Amino acid sequence: MEQQSDKHIFGLILAAGSGERMGDRPKALLHIDGGNFLQRIADKMRIAGLLEIKVVVGYHREKVLPYIPRNMEVVINPDPENDMLSSILVGIAGAKEYHTGALIAHVDYPLVETSTFRALIEEHYRFPGCIISPVYKGRGGHPVIFPRILFEELADAPLDIGARHVVRANPDRRRFVPVDDPGIAIDINTPEDYEKYIGPFPGE
């Protein structure tokens, strides 16, 4: 099959949350691998082949903005309290005509590997109309690719259900990609999670 250009899909990193369970600290800036969560996810996306990456910020944006790489597009969610779907919607609102989908990653899943991003992107180009999800040892996780054909359905989904509403309404469009990557199911939500999977929780 002819290799398609990676410019047709963009990465979308959701980093607008309040981080209440992290002591009101922005997860995007938590330390990992000599950088922070946001940088690590963006680096993995770029190595996997994505040329365009957006980050959605909301809470703590005054702290996060100075650390966002210049080669990333920043989108502000003015109402980050309106669940995660609101961040997805502001992120996909500026999709360009040639975009065939969005690879949506959560900033609190920083351990996802390059190989997973690459596998999902390749599956999208084979099945550009499908929702693409990774699976590790029978367990699903993140990130997830939503095709452009479902962007309108995302916009119409109930805020309290979010993207799950679209997933449940389109079982025939779902594709699961087996990956050797436990990071797809590791959600770093608390200092205890951080210490379990990364190391000693950093001080102020």
Domain count for the chain, please give it.
1
Question: How confident is the model over 66-74, as a mean pLDDT?
Answer: 91
76 inside domain: yes
Sign of the alpha-carbon torsion through 4, 8, 13, 14: negative
CA distance 73 to 54: 5
The H-or-E segment that residue 31 falls in is: strand 31-32
What share of the chain has pLDDT > 70, as a percent?
96
Output the domain CATH number for residue 72: 3.90.550.10
Asked if residue 15 belongs to a domain, the reply is yes
Q: Would you say 117 and 48 are in contact if contact means Cβ atoms under 8 Å apart?
A: yes
- Domain hosting 164: range is 9-196
Residue 4 in domain: no
**Measured between alpha carbons, how far is 119 from 177 in angstroms, rounded to an integer?**
7
- Whether residue 2 is predicted with pLDDT greater than 50 in this model: the reply is no
pLDDT, tens only, 103-153: 999 999 999 999 999 999 999 999 999 999 999 999 999 999 999 999 999
For 33-50, how does the pLDDT look when each residue is reduced to its tens digit (9 = 90+)? Answer: 889 999 999 999 999 999
Q: Does residue 91 form part of some domain? A: yes
Q: Is residue 1 part of a domain?
A: no
Residue-level pLDDT at 160:
83
The whole-model pTM stands at 0.93
Task: Please give the distance of CA 93 from its chain centroid, rounded to a whole number.
Answer: 16
Is there a domain that residue 2 lies in?
A: no
**Residue at 203 is within a domain:** no
Is residue 58 domain-resident?
yes
How does residue 3 score in pLDDT terms, banded at 50, 70 and 90? very low
